[in-house]
Structure 1
Amino acid sequence: MEKIIVTGVSAGAGKSTFARKLGEALDIPVYHLDSYYWKPGWMEAPEEEFIKAQNELTAKEKWIIEGNYSSTLSVRTEPADTIIYINQPLYKCLYRVIKRRIKFHNKSRPDIANGCPEKLNWKFIRFIMSTYKRRKESLPEHFRTISMKDMNKSVYIFENDREIESFLVKFKRGSKVQSLPGSAQKSKLKK
Structure 2
Amino acid sequence: MRKLIVTGANGAGKSFVAARLSAVRPEIPLISFDKIKLTSDWQHRPRAEIEQGLEQVISKEAWILEGGPSLLTHALPKADAIIWLDPPLILRAWRLLVRPWQNRGKTRAELPAGNFD
TM-score (norm 1): 0.59
Superposition RMSD in Å? 1.0
Structure 1: which 4+ aligned runs deviate by more than 6 Å? none
What's the CA shift string for 1:74-95, capped at 9, x where partnerless? 2110100111101100010111
> What SS does the corresponding residue of 2:78 show, helix, strand or coil?
coil
What's the CA shift string for 1:124-183, capped at 9, x where partnerless? xxxxxxxxxxxxxxxxxxxxxxxxxxxxxxxxxxxxxxxxxxxxxxxxxxxxxxxxxxxx
Which letter does structure 2 place at the counterpart of 1:46? P
Structure 1 residue 41, shift from structure 2 partner:
2.0
Larger radius of gyration: 1
Structure 1 residue 69, shift from structure 2 partner:
4.2
1:42 counterpart = 2:45: no
Q: Is there any run of 5+ residues in structure 1 with no aligned partner, and where?
A: 119-191
Structure 1 residue 57, shift from structure 2 partner:
0.3
Sequence identity percentage: 33
Specify the alignment match of 1:19 in structure 2.
18
Structure 2 distance, partners of 1:35, 1:100, is: 18
Larger % of helix: which?
1
Q: Is there any run of 5+ residues in structure 2 with no aligned partner, and where?
A: none
What's the CA shift string for 1:77-132, capped at 9, x where partnerless? 010011110110001011111121111112211100101111xxxxxxxxxxxxxx
Structure 1 distance, partners of 2:4, 2:69, is: 15
Structure 1 residue 5, shift from structure 2 partner:
0.4
